[in-house]
Amino acid sequence: MKGRLIAYDMIAGRKAAAMVVDGVLEDLLVDGGDGPAPGAIYRAICDRPMKGQGGMMLRLPKGSAYLRKGKGLAPGQPLLVQVTGRAEDGKAVPVTARVLFKSRYAIVTPGAPGINISRQIRDDEARVQLLEIAHEAMEGVEDGLIIRSDAEGADEDDVEGDILDMRDLALAVAGDADGKTPELLVDGPDAHSLGWRDWPSPDQMEQGSGCFARNGVDEMIATILNQKCTLPGGAFAFIEQTRALVAIDVNTGGDTSQAAGLKANIALARDLPRQLRCRGLGGQIVVDFAPMPKKDRRQLEQVLRAAFRKDPVETALAGWTPLGHFELQRKRERAPLSPELQF
C-alpha cells in the first residue's frame, strides 16, 4: 500500500479516523474519554483563586476547570474558555482563556487582531491571493485571522467559506459570553472532524462501515493495542500506561553485539512519536533505554529531538534522571486507547 490513505470508520460505536502512509499506521484518532473534548468552548464562571499558584478554579456545566493564569479575575465573573487537553482522573479540566476557532484553512483569533499567512506558504502570488480573500472576508471584524498552509492550492470559494464560517462562529460565541451560569457553547471536534481538519490531503480516502477491515487498518490497530512494540533488528520495547506515568522499557532482543543497545534505542526513538500518537498517550513518560555507553547519549538525544520536531502533539524532552532513565512531558490531547477497542 503506497501513498497516503485516510479512512473514516467506527470502532466499538465510536468514530475513528486512521492515516496510513506507505502501509504504516501514522496516526489514529478515536472518540472517547470522559469529560469535555479538547477544543470545546465554554462560558465558565470563576469560582475561587488558587493562592500561591496564580490560577483560578472555574465552574463548568458538569464539573470544574482550571485556568493557569487567573490574575485579575474575580469569583462569579463569567469567562470564555477553551479546553486544551484531557483531564486526568479526579482532576479539573485544563482550559485557556485564549480561545481559537480553527478549521481546515483558517483560524480566527479573538483578541489578537491582524491577518497572517502560514510561513509554509512561500509562493508570493499565492500569499497575495490569500490575503485578498482574507481581508474581504474579515472586513469590519476586529478578530484576527491565520491562514493555514492547507489553503495553498485549495479552491478559493472553499477557503473563503471556511473563513466566513469561523468568523460567524466567533461572533456568535462572543455574543453569548455574558451570563450567570456556565454553558457549553461549542462542542469539541470528533475524530472524523479532526482528521479532515488537521491531516494533509490523501492519495486515497475511504469512509463508511467496514473500510478499516478492507484496508487492513483493523490489524494495524490491533498491533498498536499490544503493549509490546517490535523494533528493527529483533529488538523490542514494552509501552505500558500506569496511573502516574507511561513506562517504556527497551530491550535488544537476541542481538548481543557491542552496539546492540544504541541500535535498539535509536530504533525506538525514531518510532516513539508515532507510537505515542497512535496510542493516545500523554502526560509524564519515562523511558528505560537499553544499556549503552554514556558517550552515546548525545547522539540518542539528537535522534529524539529530530523525531519529535514534526510531531503535532506538544512534547517537552526533559532529559536524563540520576538513574539513567529519560523523561518526557507530553500534552494530554487524546484519550488513550483501551482494550475494549479490540476487533
Q: How many domains does the chain have?
A: 4
Q: Are residues 112 and 137 in the same domain?
A: yes
Kindly tell me the burial class for residue 277, based on how many C-beta atoms sit within 10 Å of its own C-beta (0-12, 13-18, 19 or more).
Answer: buried
Could you list the residue range(s) of the whole structural domain that residue 79 is in?
A: 41-99
On whether residue 187 sits in a domain, the answer given is no
Which CATH number is 261's domain given? 3.40.630
End-of-domain residue from the set 155, 187, 214: 214
**Residue 313 falls inside a structural domain:** yes
Quick one: 244 and 297 in the same domain? yes
Q: Given this model, what pLDDT does residue 27 score? A: 97
pLDDT, residue 286, reads: 98
What's the pLDDT score for residue 272? 97
Query: What per-residue confidence (pLDDT) applies to 57?
Result: 95
Report the DSSP pairing between strands 78-83 and 93-96: antiparallel
Residues 150 and 120 in one domain: yes
Using CA atoms, how far apart are residues 102 and 189, in angstroms rounded to an integer? 10
pTM attached to this predicted model: 0.90
The reply to whether 325 falls in a domain is yes
Question: Would the pLDDT of 68 be above 70?
Answer: yes
Average confidence (pLDDT) over 280-287: 96
Residues near 123 by Cβ (< 8 Å), separated by ≥ 6?
Answer: 152
pLDDT in tens, 177-208: 998 899 999 999 999 999 999 999 999 999 99
**Domain-ending residue, one of 214, 240, 261:** 214
Whether residue 154 sits in one domain with residue 251: no
Looking at residue 342, its pLDDT comes to: 56
| Structural domain includes residue 189 | no
Amino acid at 190: D
Tens of pLDDT, residues 241-255: 998 999 999 999 888
Instruction: Give the type of residue at 64.
Output: S
302 lies in a domain?
A: yes
How far apart are the C-alpha atoms of 17 and 193, rounded to whole Å?
9
What is the chain's Cα-based Rg?
Answer: 22
Q: Are residues 327 and 290 in the same domain?
A: yes
Same domain, 141 and 242: no
Question: Does residue 234 sit in the same domain as residue 290?
Answer: yes
Average model confidence (pLDDT) for the chain? 93
Residues 8-64 pLDDT 10s:
999 988 999 999 999 999 999 999 867 799 999 999 999 999 887 889 999 999 999
d(CA 324, CA 151): 45
Confirm whether 186 is domain-assigned: no
How is residue 300 written as a grid cell? 540518542
Q: Please report the pLDDT score of residue 253 as a whole number.
A: 87
In a domain, 19, yes or no: yes
**Residues 167 and 84 placed together within one structural domain of the fold:** no
Query: Can you say how many angstroms the Cα of residue 254 is from the centroid of all Cα atoms in its chain?
Result: 36
Model pLDDT, residue 239 = 97
Q: Are residues 160 and 112 in the same domain?
A: yes
Both 317 and 330 in a single domain?
A: yes
| Domain identity same for 63 and 167 | no
Please check whether residue 240 lies inside any domain of the structure. yes
Instruction: Report the CATH number that the domain containing residue 75 is assigned in CATH.
Output: 2.40.50.140
pLDDT exceeds cutoff 90 at 89: no
Residues 167, 207 share a domain: no
| 288-328 confidence digits (pLDDT tens) | 999 999 999 999 999 999 999 999 999 999 999 999 999 99
Grid cell listed for 131: 490575503
Percent of the chain with pLDDT over 70: 98
**Residue 167 predicted with pLDDT over 80:** yes
